[in-house]
């Protein structure tokens, strides 16, 4: 359990202890700038006072719609110190999705990054009668006079010195009223069908989970973590944001996932938290090199100070973990859900088993149900789904949360994930198929970047294949073949024959009923902008199948 009653108490305590040390580093105009712990806390207090002056009451909800930036982290602490709960929205959301999440959470205000994000709110303002104000990190032009619009600077500096002193006393009173049961955030899950559910997480949920994860991380106060995962996602929220504050380390913000490689060179971090997709791309760029050259290349990518790399959010291909370890780069995989704050289990540098997602955290219970579903219980389990008691009762039974994942525990307590329970399907011949494992096998091939398998109720298994386009172009050049397309699919017979041969080869390691018999070769990768990947680059299988089901069904005609 945590030594602090709330996230606010933790952050204030650490800021007082660490004072002039660097808390945050952020890029601007090509250079990195530093923010001390003193400044971090002072800016959060100013913004909290501004929110209270706007009429924010304890228990209110305030949404955040922004890409990663240092102000996002400060805004989070400001909202919590005002006694409110924040509702983080993924930056790529469409206006209709913004309308649902802001409206469903009954948010009184919203903090945005810039004009583009503000315009999403203005577009759906008529659907948000409870929304009273909008704050923007960057100066914007207001499109409406129905709500109050002000800049981040105005929010922080709108009070006179006397009024600010009084507001700061109110901030301290509100913080003192917070405890482990106080609502800290509502995070909407990236649902594949219908509207997403709002996961209610408390100060205790997040603080205990961050502290327990920190205990097995061996991170030190002298370390720097490079942060790029979206703060609107629970993984970065807990590990990059709260765990780092507990450990007192410096967090350096990457400019974006596109600049991650160059930012690694600039920051030379000790830590990087990421998702398998990033490690897969790095691995694919060096996979064909001989082992000594490959190991040297991998180490040069992550820099001379790197201690550990961590992976979560989706399954990590085993051969990539093995390859990184062989290069002297511990790549440690963990597992969790938004509903569990999020970490359930994690490998550590002292106790790891490649292929597993590690052992349960110290205050986390895990067991396997009769049907193979992973169940978990402990202080990390959410309060429930916002305004959805039925869904809460379906998910939590006698204190045990049903993860929806299928897995097993080995004799030493390491947890292995088999598949998503809801993704398991049965062919018309009665064969149970675990699609995630087949997709992992397919994507191990150097010419296959992404894969989604299909076949529920069908005679055989088929797949959507997104090729590695760099290697695909090399193959096409060698064969003097043009990358011809028909709508969204590649159609060149020579390339289809090439991939059919490779798929048949990798499928030899599974039984005949599990093997992919037919496939479609996509002319582009799956993308976040099309809703095919989550904010952490995880494939949204059901969404993709719904989109391409007509073409997949034609494979069976």
DSSP 327-393: TT--EEEEEE-GGGSSEEEE--SSS--TTS--EEPTT-EEEE-TTSEEEEESTTS-SEETT-HHHHH
61 phi/psi in degrees, rounded to 5: -110, 135
Mean pLDDT of 6-18: 98
- Beta strands per DSSP E along 81-230: 85-89, 109-112, 133-136, 148-151, 183-188, 198-202, 224-227
Extract the tokens encoding 117: 């994000």
Rounded to the nearest 5 degrees, what angle is found at the Cα of 113, between the Cα atoms of 111 and 118?
75
**One fold for 205-421 and 424-554:** no
Neighbours of 495 (CB within 10 A): 21
Asked if the model's pLDDT at residue 224 lies above 50, the reply is: yes
Dihedral sign (CA 456, 459, 463, 464): negative
Q: Count the alpha carbons within 13 Å of 478 in the hemisphere toward its beta carbon.
A: 9
Whose structure tokens read 């952490």?
A: 536
Q: Which pLDDT value is given to residue 251?
A: 98
Hey, which of 303-312, 418-427, 531-540 has the most confident mean pLDDT? 303-312
Phi-psi region of 194 (alpha: psi -120 to 50; beta: other; left: phi over 0): left
* Interatomic CA distance for residues 85 and 109, integer angstroms: 11
Neighbours of 522 (CB within 10 A): 22
Q: Which pLDDT value is given to residue 533?
A: 86
173 DSSP 8-state letter:
H
Nearest one of 522, 464, 454 to 491, comparing CA atoms = 522
Extract the tokens encoding 368: 């396997």
* Interatomic CA distance for residues 314 and 275, integer angstroms: 7
Mean pLDDT of the chain: 93
Q: Which residue has the higher pLDDT, 154 or 434?
A: 154
**74 Cβ contact list (under 8 Å, min separation 6):** 40, 43, 44, 47
* Interatomic CA distance for residues 229 and 87, integer angstroms: 17
Q: Which pLDDT value is given to residue 529?
A: 82
Mean pLDDT of 475-493: 87
Residue range 152-166, pLDDT digits in tens: 999 999 888 888 888
Contact 521, 467 (CB under 8 A): yes
In this structure, the chain runs to a length of 557
Q: Which pLDDT value is given to residue 321?
A: 95
Contact 241, 72 (CB under 8 A): no
pLDDT-wise least confident of 284-298, 390-404, 537-551: 537-551
Extract the tokens encoding 275: 């998702």
Extract the tokens encoding 244: 């780092």
Cis peptide bond N-terminal to 342, omega within 30: yes
252 SS3 class:
strand
Extract the tokens encoding 482: 């043009």
* Interatomic CA distance for residues 112 and 168, integer angstroms: 24
Radius of gyration of the chain (CA): 24
Mean pLDDT of 429-452: 85
pLDDT-wise least confident of 88-97, 206-215, 356-365, 385-394: 88-97
Q: Which pLDDT value is given to residue 384?
A: 98
Neighbours of 272 (CB within 10 A): 28
- Indicate the pLDDT class of residue 487, thresholds 50, 70 and 90: confident
- Domain ranges in the chain are 7-202, 205-421, 424-554
- Indicate the pLDDT class of residue 1, thresholds 50, 70 and 90: low
Q: Which pLDDT value is given to residue 192?
A: 44
Please report the DSSP string for 390-438 in residue order. Answer: HHHHHHEETTEEEEEEEEEE-TTS-EEEEEEGGG-EE-TT--EE-HHHH
* Interatomic CA distance for residues 297 and 303, integer angstroms: 10
Type and span of the H or E element at 142: none
* Interatomic CA distance for residues 278 and 285, integer angstroms: 11
- What percent of the chain stands above pLDDT 70? 98
- Indicate the pLDDT class of residue 470, thresholds 50, 70 and 90: confident
- Indicate the pLDDT class of residue 244, thresholds 50, 70 and 90: very high
Torsion of CA 259, 524, 236, 89, to 10 degrees: 110
Residue range 441-452, pLDDT digits in tens: 898 898 999 999
485 phi/psi in degrees, rounded to 5: -130, 155
Residue range 304-346, pLDDT digits in tens: 999 999 999 878 888 899 999 999 999 999 999 999 999 999 9
Q: Which pLDDT value is given to residue 457?
A: 81
71 SS3 class:
helix
Contact 61, 186 (CB under 8 A): yes
**489 Cβ contact list (under 8 Å, min separation 6):** 520, 521, 522, 523, 551
Contact 377, 370 (CB under 8 A): no
Mean pLDDT of 15-34: 96
Neighbours of 382 (CB within 10 A): 22
CATH topology (fold) of 424-554: GMP Synthetase; Chain A, domain 3 (3.30.300)
192 phi/psi in degrees, rounded to 5: -90, -30
pLDDT-wise least confident of 190-204, 210-224, 228-242, 518-532: 190-204
Q: Which CATH superfamily is domain 7-202 in?
A: ANL, N-terminal domain (3.40.50.12780)
CATH topology (fold) of 205-421: Rossmann fold (3.40.50)
């Amino acid at each position: 359990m945590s030594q602090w009653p709330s996230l606010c108490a933790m952050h204030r305590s650490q800021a007082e202890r660490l004072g002039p040390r660097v808390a945050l580093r952020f890029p601007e105009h090509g250079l990195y700038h530093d923010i001390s712990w003193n400044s971090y806390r002072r800016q959060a207090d100013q913004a909290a006072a501004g929110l209270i002056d706007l009429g924010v009451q304890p228990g209110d909800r305030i949404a955040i719609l922004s890409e990663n930036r240092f102000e996002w982290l400060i805004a989070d602490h400001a909202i919590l110190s005002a006694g409110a709960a924040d509702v983080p929205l993924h930056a790529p959301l469409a206006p209709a999705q913004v309308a649902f999440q802001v409206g469903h959470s009954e948010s009184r205000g919203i903090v945005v990054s810039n004009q583009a994000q503000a315009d999403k709110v203005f577009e759906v303002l008529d659907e948000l009668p409870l929304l009273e104000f909008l704050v923007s990190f960057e100066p914007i032009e207001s499109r409406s006079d129905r709500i109050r619009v002000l800049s981040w600077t105005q929010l922080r500096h709108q009070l006179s010195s006397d009024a600010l002193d009084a507001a700061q006393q109110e901030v301290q009173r509100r913080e003192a009223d917070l405890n482990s049961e106080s609502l800290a955030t509502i995070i909407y899950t990236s649902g594949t069908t219908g509207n997403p559910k709002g996961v209610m997480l408390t100060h205790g949920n997040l603080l205990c989970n961050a502290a327990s994860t920190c205990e097995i991380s061996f991170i030190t106060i002298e370390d720097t973590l490079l942060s790029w995962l979206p703060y609107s996602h629970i993984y970065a929220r807990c590990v990059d944001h709260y765990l780092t504050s507990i450990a007192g380390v410096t967090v350096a913000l990457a400019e974006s996932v596109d600049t991650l490689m160059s930012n690694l060179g600039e920051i030379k971090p000790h830590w990087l938290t990421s998702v398998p997709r990033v490690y897969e791309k790095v691995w694919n760029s060096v996979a064909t090199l001989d082992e000594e050259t490959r190991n040297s290349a991998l180490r040069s990518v992550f820099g001379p100070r790197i201690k550990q790399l961590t992976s979560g959010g989706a399954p990590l291909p085993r051969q990539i973990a093995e390859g990184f370890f062989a290069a002297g780069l511990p790549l440690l995989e963990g597992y969790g859900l938004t509903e569990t704050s999020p970490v359930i289990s994690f490998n550590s540098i002292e106790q790891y088993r490649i292929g597993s997602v590690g052992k349960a955290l110290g205050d986390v219970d895990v067991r396997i149900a009769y049907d193979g579903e992973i169940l978990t219980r402990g202080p990390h389990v959410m309060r429930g789904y916002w305004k959805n008691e039925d869904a809460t009762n379906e998910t939590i039974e006698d204190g045990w949360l049903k993860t929806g994942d299928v897995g097993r525990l080995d004799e030493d307590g390491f947890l292995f994930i088999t598949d998503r329970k809801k993704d398991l399907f049965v062919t018309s011949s009665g064969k149970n198929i675990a699609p995630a494992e087949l997709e992992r096998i397919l994507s191990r091939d150097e010419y296959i970047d992404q894969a989604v398998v299909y076949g529920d109720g069908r005679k055989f298994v088929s797949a959507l294949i997104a090729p590695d386009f760099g290697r695909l172009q090399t193959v096409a050049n060698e064969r003097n073949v043009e990358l011809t397309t028909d709508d969204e699919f590649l159609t060149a017979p020579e390339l289809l024959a090439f991939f059919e041969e490779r798929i048949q080869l990798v499928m030899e390691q599974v039984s005949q009923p599990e093997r992919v018999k037919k496939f479609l070769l996509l002319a582009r990768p799956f993308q976040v902008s099309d809703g095919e990947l989550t904010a952490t680059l995880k494939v949204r299988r059901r969404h993709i199948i719904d989109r391409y089901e007509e073409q997949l069904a034609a494979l069976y005609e």
